[in-house]
Structure 1
Amino acid sequence: MVDISIRSLYKDLEKSINDLKKDAGTVQRSRKVVEEALKKDEAFYGINTGFGILANKRISGDQLKQLQRNLILSHSVGTGDLIPKEISRLMLMLKIHALGIGYSGISMETFERFVYFIDHDLIPVVPEKGSVGASGDLAPLSHMSLPLLGFGSFWNEEGTDTIPADEVLKKHGLEPIDLQAKDGLSLINGTQLMSSYGAYVLEKTLHLLKVADLLGAMSLEALQGSIKPFDKRIHKIRPHNGQQTVAANVRYLLGKSEILESHRNCGKVQDPYSLRCIPQVHGASRDSIEHCVRVVETEINSVTDNPLVFQDGDIISGGNFHGQPLALVLDFAAIALAELASISERRTYLMLEGHDGLPELLMEETGINSGFMIPQYTAAALVSENKVLCHPASVDSIPTSLGQEDHVSMGSIGALKLLNVYKNVEQVLAIELFTAAQALDFRKPLKPGAGIEKAHQYIREHIAHADEDHFFKDEINQAVELLSDPSLIRDLDLK
């Protein structure tokens, strides 16, 4: 099996699924264990028993298919907004990968139908709420499985509308399938909602961390900040990896800076923390995100089913479905991301104050023009919203299944919040992006560091200098697109 990395997430998942299409021997061997177990006069949880608090109720052989069908239908009680198509696709891919590891015992027919779905961009529609992150993401994964039975819906090609599953299956010449013993349980036990949100956001965050360093360096240049706090010797004696990496990135970006040379001996003693402590703050977020990446990578390469099917014939009930490892790091990632926005907004504010030769509010004529005053309001609002969103979901628990499931992770709630925090951070950094570009314009004809100059020119190819008030919302949207575009930092040697 392919070991999935966040840094090459989609490529690795595609390779894993392609490998499974060529050789699904692990799935077949696991299924054989289940079929042999069914010949025995023993109780196997969820295979020939009820679920949750009903685990002690045996189910007769002629009702096993109905048991699995009922499981999917009864657990499809999700609510709220729909998970975006891209994340639903990731959920499906992660589920296929997990089943392919070979400890779930799913039938080949059910497994191959899921593979057919991904091959033909048939992405099930899944409501975002309903999981407590304990026995796996039961409700969301049930909705993801509904189209196997002819229920539920698929996304259209653009991901803008939904189509009833039965219509799509008919179009593809497919009949709903009969779930075999253990199939339903294999489908809905797992942490794929939490994992997909975590992987989706963290994959984007690894890029955003570099962008944050670039924007911090741009603002430092625009505000004629000092290079001294980025001296390698400072960070060598507090050797956190992230801190050292950020300091090195800023030193690199400020290389050959004419602006820096113009005020090198100006006598200023210290800059505000939002400039001076960029390595410490950005670096702490980097180190935190790296920890979160390691945990999520472990999770998406794990089996989170229950019961687990082993090649020696044992079928063992355990707790691998519990979302606690993810719940903690999803909260942690949100906090680490929020801090990038918090310090970014402070730098944006500094650039509006009119210090060090910059015009107040970054426009020559104010009064009739509000200048860059109001975008900072938006940044401040989003930073404050993140303070609410970053309250950890993982400190909560509530019993379910009549007390059988008496401690839950709430990781699903942390997952949904994480995406909202990420989107807010993007907006805040986007505002710093076009604010810093505006401020740098007033430093001409002096040039910033070579790396910053390259990025500034790229920004100016898409967003023009502002001489008067206009519809800033368009620029925020454009700046968000630039943030996510690899071209912004492609030619910069940032770590």
Structure 2
Amino acid sequence: MISLNGNQLTMKQMKAILYEGASINIAEEAKAKVIASRARVEKIVQRDETVYGINTGFGKLSDVKIDEREVNRLQLNLIRSHACAFGEPFSEVVSRAMMVLRLNALLKGYSGIRLEVLERLEWMINEQIHPVIFQQGSLGASGDLAPLSHLVLALIGEGDVFHHGHRYAAKAIFEKFQLVPIELRAKEGLALINGTQAMTAQGIVNYIEAEKLTYESEWIAAMTLQGLRGIIDAFHPAVHAARGFVEQSDVASRMRDWLAGSKLVTKQGELRTQDPYSLRCIPQIHGASWQVLAYVKEKLEIEMNAATDNPLLFEDGTVISGGNFHGQPIAFAMDFLKLALAELANVSERRIERLVNPSLNEGLPAFLSARPGLESGAMILQYSAASLVSENKTLAHPASVDSIPSSANQEDHVSMGTTAARHAYMILCNARRVLAIEAFCALQAVEYRGMELMSPRTQAKWQELRTFVAPLQEDRVVHDDIEKITRYLKP
């Protein structure tokens, strides 16, 4: 059980909630803050003070005063009008992450929402009832308004939800559990949708999956290095200490561990003086991606504990309209992550080329085929990898530089952070398949060299993968093999 209080949620805890089935609860100290914050909203309504989002319109309509009798209707209208996202739904894991993040942000006590609304969110998370939230439609400023509105639709008994792998009408789920939908009151609709939780949720999933893939890329590279009789001297600790990047040294250290005891690696001058960059510079290239991951993690862990709605209600009674909903920090982080993942795929594709190219693969059969000419072997796998990395290059264009004004130019600069996060995940999926192709080819290459000569750790990997991917003894459809390895590389 993971307690949420708005301030201490970590990436490790999110991983447990999203991938390991951990439940959550609302910390007692947070409940008191929520109740006090709600009391401040009630006082504003009673005094008929003019406060944005409580008794005014939204965006360019913020100067329109709303009658006290209509403030609840205002919130319902907000959700219905803003629930206009499109495209494919976010995955259930991203939807779940959005719910957890929005709940955690509202527990900080700056948002004026009722505790019972948050307790309904808590219940839905623990029952694994995940709103159907469409991916396209957020500008990443004023919050992820359209996607989060679809989250709130489920709370009020409208829209659809996923539950144990099936899709249902939200109203039907509440009837099944004998619960009535939430009726929104003053400020609550705005409090629920005015935040960066769509981009941050997708960003967290991106990070967790990217971290695993980046670790996995190292044993794959180590297997390729052995298949190509690579030179181990390039991983000597002195080389990397001389440059000073910790992440680079860490990759070199892990590569030495993966290669320890191998009779397939060579020394410089033994077969050749030096390797190509795709082998020799693994610590430098992969290490740079680790630097990006560290940056991304830092920004996500700040944002997952941030108050990102507007206005914020402070303990002294001050109500301030600010701009914490602007997603620029996460937009930059996601655009940066795109580069790190695209480069992992780029260098992997170059290693694939060396494995299959008879001019470069140190005596391995052409295209790793048992009967080159009659059979094409892994020839077209390299084509597919090349296609994926080229697609990544177009997706890597920074979304964060592509602002466009909205709401009659009241909201005249936006982050496009959710687009950046979505594209980062697309690059991640492509990179994972490229690395799966490299793994497939590396398995074949070390078999030609002699599995008994591999390092013990990579030999164990070879044995594990061979339980579900057979050797390429003759041409066959390998789509399913690559998909099996791809799934293996996921959390």
Whether TM-score is above 0.5 comes out as yes
Q: Deviations over 1:136-195 (max 9, x none)?
A: 00000011101222211112421xx53222222222222233211110110110001000
Q: Partner letter of residue 238 of structure 2?
A: R
Cα distance between partner residues in 2 of 1:38 and 1:364: 78
Cα distance between partner residues in 1 of 2:236 and 2:401: 40
Alignment root-mean-square deviation, CA: 1.8
Partner of 1:272: 276
Cα distance between partner residues in 2 of 1:483 and 1:169: 37
Q: 2:210 aligns with which of 191, 202, 205?
A: 205
- How far 1:308 sits from its partner (Å)? 0.7
Superposition map of 1:75-154 within 5 A: 75-154=82-161
Superposition map of 1:354-373 within 5 A: 354=358, 355-373=361-379
Scaled by the length of structure 2, the TM-score of the pair is: 0.94
Partner of 2:174: 169
Partner of 1:290: 294
Give the conservation status (yes or no) of the 8 Å contact 2:268–2:274: no
Q: Partner letter of residue 469 of structure 1?
A: D
Q: Partner letter of residue 11 of structure 2?
A: I
**Once structures 1 and 2 are overlaid, which stretch shifts more, 276-285 or 10-19?**
10-19
Change (3 A) 1:124 1:331: same
Give the secondary structure class of the aligned counterpart of 1:250: helix
- How far 1:209 sits from its partner (Å)? 1.1
Q: Partner letter of residue 98 of structure 2?
A: M
Q: Deviations over 1:427-447 (max 9, x none)?
A: 000000111011001111651
Cα distance between partner residues in 2 of 1:433 and 1:8: 30
- How far 1:49 sits from its partner (Å)? 1.1
Q: 1:429 aligns with which of 428, 435, 442?
A: 435
Give the conservation status (yes or no) of the 8 Å contact 1:141–1:187: yes
Cα distance between partner residues in 2 of 1:435 and 1:484: 19
Give the conservation status (yes or no) of the 8 Å contact 2:335–2:400: yes
Cα distance between partner residues in 2 of 1:23 and 1:41: 28
Cα distance between partner residues in 2 of 1:296 and 1:23: 21
Partner of 1:408: 414
Q: Percent identity?
A: 42
Cα distance between partner residues in 2 of 1:322 and 1:423: 27
Cα distance between partner residues in 1 of 2:389 and 2:472: 25
Cα distance between partner residues in 2 of 1:184 and 1:409: 22
**Once structures 1 and 2 are overlaid, which stretch shifts more, 44-53 or 460-469?**
460-469
Partner of 1:225: 230
Partner of 2:60: 53
Cα distance between partner residues in 2 of 1:428 and 1:10: 24
Give the secondary structure class of the aligned counterpart of 1:403: coil
Q: Is residue 34 from structure 1 mapped to residue 38 from structure 2 by the alignment?
A: no
Give the conservation status (yes or no) of the 8 Å contact 2:200–2:330: yes
- How far 1:462 sits from its partner (Å)? 2.1
Give the secondary structure class of the aligned counterpart of 1:442: helix
Give the conservation status (yes or no) of the 8 Å contact 1:68–1:184: yes
Cα distance between partner residues in 2 of 1:12 and 1:308: 28
Partner of 1:490: none
- How far 1:41 sits from its partner (Å)? 4.1
Cα distance between partner residues in 2 of 1:150 and 1:460: 48
Scaled by the length of structure 1, the TM-score of the pair is: 0.94
Give the conservation status (yes or no) of the 8 Å contact 1:3–1:12: no
Partner of 1:452: 458
- How far 1:383 sits from its partner (Å)? 0.4
Give the secondary structure class of the aligned counterpart of 1:39: helix
Q: Partner letter of residue 468 of structure 2?
A: H
Cα distance between partner residues in 2 of 1:484 and 1:194: 20
Give the secondary structure class of the aligned counterpart of 2:454: coil
Change (3 A) 1:117 1:287: same
- How far 1:400 sits from its partner (Å)? 0.6
